[in-house]
Structure 1
Amino acid sequence: MKQTLIAERVFDGEHFHHNQAITIEDGRIVSFDKASDVEPTVLAGTLVPGFIDVQVNGGGGALFNDAPSIEKIETIGLAHAKFGTTGFLPTLITDDIQVMHDAADAVAEAIALKTPGVLGIHFEGPHLSVPKKGVHPADFIRRISDEELAIFARNDLGTKVVTLAPENVAPEVIRALVECGVRVCLGHSNADYDTAVKALNAGATGFTHLFNAMSPMDSRAPGMVGAALESQAAWCGLIVDGHHVHPASAKVAIAAKPRGKVMLVTDAMPPVGMDDDASFELFGTQVVRQGDRLNAVTGELAGCVLDMNGAVNNSVDMLGVAREEALRMASKYPAEFIGQRQRGIFTIGAKADMVLLDQDNRVARTYIDGQLIYQA
């Protein structure tokens, strides 16, 4: 099926264009020529590349850890599509080995069935640091075993991301994970600077929610944060909700890192896409929503009710980031992190994953593979 869209403004990943036509066929962009053999659909607003979120725990009332299934993944994906997310990694936080198997099977099924938006899986744990566990259950934090390595080595999971604490996983194991196609991120870690650098040298390429649940940077102890900011190659996920990271700290990180190495993430939980302030249960602990903040009753921050379009707007409003750059932080840069450079940009041959923003920068439409998934 071929279709042509003409938008008032189009952001192609680098520049804005006015009254730009985009022709789509078989889920990919085939032309920017205004001339087309099909009647165009004219869109009021700004068409931008779809957002890619590499850390999504839940949404639409569903939590991925809670009996993982393709139905849960579909619910989460549709909830986030309302906010412009066209690609995401369902994220499993630290859990029992059987839940890990179930999560992998659910993602494999979703990918086989081409479930809209599903790009792979993110295992956030269980090989973390107890002192920096946050709301991850200490009872499930453990050393890596052959059974977990076998899950991570599966070749039917799309993009595979594993967050681990390098003080608990040896460099040779990190190297083995990378060799079997895993993108290793460092996080929930109390590692010192030298240990973090050794993990980077072994092939780790990212840091999970920079500043949060990791050893801080000090004058004589750079810690995990110092290693993240110093690295020219590693990507850093950043939660811009005004609660997880102070705006000044976020500004410092963006200024310190090379362009393209800071990407927006949501760390989203079940309330995303829900209108009420209902609490939910996480490993037997109640998590309470108060506006745009989630806290366990024990006090810890417990993920977010942040969505990707909210993260873009917060980056502009709270951090003073240019809108073009904020859009890249939500699309092009995470696409590069997961090695899918045909996403996050508009160019001939690119995936037709697109978001139409209205004049108030709210999501009006979301397209995945050229198909309209959500309309306000």
Structure 2
Amino acid sequence: MPILENVNSYQNNVLTENLDIEIENGIISSIKPSVSSKQDSKNLIVPGFIDLQIYGAGGKLFSAEPSLASLAIIEDDLLQKGTTGFLICLATNTEQVFNECIKTVKAHLPSAKNCLGLHLEGPFLNPKRLGAHVPEFVRKATLDEIKALLDFGDGAIKMMTIAPEIQDDDVIQYLLDHNVVVSLGHSNATFDEATAAYNKGIQTTTHLFNAMSPIHHREPGIPTAVFNHDKAMASIIVDNQHVSFEVVRFSQKLLKERLFLITDAVTECATGPYQHRKVGDKYVMPDGTLSGSSLTMLKSVKNCIEHCDIDALDAIKMATEYPAKLIGADKSLGQIAVGMEANLLVLDEKLNLTDVMFKGNTISN
């Protein structure tokens, strides 16, 4: 039985020192005061990170190389960086690419490590708020198309970003009825339209402030609708490129447990419709349009703490507990508690990653 001896972790929202965490069959079986005579640890044990929107890692952009081999490389790279659960994201693309990506994830999930399924960001978006998405593939959904898509996905599609102002209510309701997390994004919805969408059951918002109607003092837009709602969540990219650190700061103060981190990370790619080129700390398309980030989840957490005046516990929850809750995995993922999967990260005093444990096994670099 593996035991993490004499470690520190957050328990009941309080930093608790000198604990022994026992693990049995990949599950945390007990957490109790340490009886070890070892020197007190200065390391912090936190849950493994959960990223609900990432396009690739390890040099592999999934949509450009939708193979089992590339997905395995993405999984291993993310595990070594502390992401123990993720949704691989697919941007607006051709039907052929969508089908190939869905087919690959379906085949992979029975033996998957940290891949939890697919997040489809498009193609049912508003052409007025495309960001880096390819306009010729964007369209309004039909109910028959959604039914066929979910049938083909066979449970692999866990999340979908749509622009609700251009979709029929029966499309949105069908997604919700079939346990797909629906996210409002790439949308030009008014405040009233966005509020109505959240009231109908849309749970969250894709990369807050990016590719959406903005806040204006006479046209409050989507961000204000999120802030004013009592349930709607939102993801945010904390790289100071997509969103200013100061805007992240006030957004977290307003949203609290309703705001969570994503990387929206991509990799260099010179083929297909999404040719990402790294410029400094960001990625751009050939025409200079800002595309995905170069973040890791750990860097996102550090940015929250160091640049956005967000408490360390809150920043960690934004990368663990809150996204797990959104996708309904909070009974097994995202926390350090008895009965949870032993997906654990060891961070040093400066919050640098020193070790990763996945389902009770230490991951070697």
TM-score normalised per structure 2: 0.93
Return the match for 1:136 from 111, 133, 136: 133
Cα displacement (A) at 1:43: 7.0
Closer, same or farther: CA 35–216 of 1 in aligned 2, 3 Å: closer
- Which residue of the partner structure matches residue 190 of structure 2? 192
Return the match for 2:342 from 337, 352, 357: 352
Closer, same or farther: CA 238–7 of 1 in aligned 2, 3 Å: farther
Asked if the contact 2:18–2:34 (Cα under 8 Å) also holds between the matched residues in 1, the reply is no
Asked if the contact 2:6–2:34 (Cα under 8 Å) also holds between the matched residues in 1, the reply is no
Asked if the contact 1:12–1:345 (Cα under 8 Å) also holds between the matched residues in 2, the reply is no
Letter in 2 for 1:25: E
Return the match for 2:357 from 348, 358, 367: 367
Describe the superposition over 1:100-155 as per-residue Cα deviations: whole angstroms up to 9, x where unpaired.
22222222222211x21111210000101112111111111112142443223567
Closer, same or farther: CA 149–222 of 1 in aligned 2, 3 Å: farther
- Which residue of the partner structure matches residue 181 of structure 1? 179
Asked if the contact 1:12–1:49 (Cα under 8 Å) also holds between the matched residues in 2, the reply is no
Describe the superposition over 1:215-267 as per-residue Cα deviations: whole angstroms up to 9, x where unpaired.
0011221111221121110111010001111122112211221x310001000
Identity %: 33
Closer, same or farther: CA 7–148 of 1 in aligned 2, 3 Å: farther
Closer, same or farther: CA 43–5 of 1 in aligned 2, 3 Å: farther
Write the distance in 2 (CA, Å) between the matches of 1:256 and 1:156: 37
Write the distance in 1 (CA, Å) between the matches of 2:240 and 2:103: 35
Asked if the contact 1:104–1:151 (Cα under 8 Å) also holds between the matched residues in 2, the reply is no
- Which residue of the partner structure matches residue 51 of structure 1? 49
Asked if the contact 2:207–2:237 (Cα under 8 Å) also holds between the matched residues in 1, the reply is yes
Write the distance in 2 (CA, Å) between the matches of 1:173 and 1:309: 36
Asked if the contact 2:184–2:205 (Cα under 8 Å) also holds between the matched residues in 1, the reply is yes
Alignment of 1:74-113 (within 5 A): 74-113=72-111
- SS of residue paired to 1:340: coil
Letter in 2 for 1:130: P
Cα displacement (A) at 1:290: 2.3
- Which residue of the partner structure matches residue 264 of structure 1? 261
Letter in 1 for 2:125: L
Cα displacement (A) at 1:282: 5.9
Describe the superposition over 1:256-281 as per-residue Cα deviations: whole angstroms up to 9, x where unpaired.
21x310001000112xxxxxxxx423
- Which residue of the partner structure matches residue 26 of structure 1? 25
Pairing 1:281–2:270 present: yes
Pairing 1:310–2:299 present: yes
Cα displacement (A) at 1:13: 6.9
Cα displacement (A) at 1:166: 1.1
Write the distance in 1 (CA, Å) between the matches of 2:213 and 2:270: 28
Alignment of 1:65-76 (within 5 A): 65-76=63-74
Asked if the contact 2:29–2:338 (Cα under 8 Å) also holds between the matched residues in 1, the reply is yes
Write the distance in 2 (CA, Å) between the matches of 1:303 and 1:222: 26
Q: How many residues align?
A: 362
Write the distance in 1 (CA, Å) between the matches of 2:95 and 2:208: 27
Closer, same or farther: CA 110–141 of 1 in aligned 2, 3 Å: same
158-167 or 238-247, larger mean C-alpha shift: 158-167
Closer, same or farther: CA 348–286 of 1 in aligned 2, 3 Å: closer
Pairing 1:339–2:328 present: yes
Asked if the contact 1:107–1:157 (Cα under 8 Å) also holds between the matched residues in 2, the reply is no
- SS of residue paired to 1:281: coil
- Which residue of the partner structure matches residue 279 of structure 2? 290
- SS of residue paired to 1:268: coil
Write the distance in 1 (CA, Å) between the matches of 2:157 and 2:337: 22
TM-score normalised per structure 1: 0.90
Asked if the contact 1:7–1:45 (Cα under 8 Å) also holds between the matched residues in 2, the reply is no
- Which residue of the partner structure matches residue 113 of structure 2? 116
Closer, same or farther: CA 243–202 of 1 in aligned 2, 3 Å: same
Write the distance in 1 (CA, Å) between the matches of 2:86 and 2:364: 16
Structure 1 segments, 4+ long, off by >3 Å, are: 33-36, 153-159, 282-286
Asked if the contact 1:165–1:188 (Cα under 8 Å) also holds between the matched residues in 2, the reply is yes
Cα displacement (A) at 1:373: 2.2
- SS of residue paired to 1:320: coil
Write the distance in 2 (CA, Å) between the matches of 1:63 and 1:290: 17
Cα displacement (A) at 1:67: 3.4
350-359 or 157-166, larger mean C-alpha shift: 157-166
Q: Structure 2: 5+ residue runs without aligned partners?
A: none
Closer, same or farther: CA 333–285 of 1 in aligned 2, 3 Å: closer
RMSD of aligned Cα (Å): 2.3
Closer, same or farther: CA 293–35 of 1 in aligned 2, 3 Å: closer
Describe the superposition over 1:326-362 as per-residue Cα deviations: whole angstroms up to 9, x where unpaired.
0011101111111111211111111111111122211
Pairing 1:321–2:310 present: yes
Asked if the contact 1:254–1:262 (Cα under 8 Å) also holds between the matched residues in 2, the reply is yes
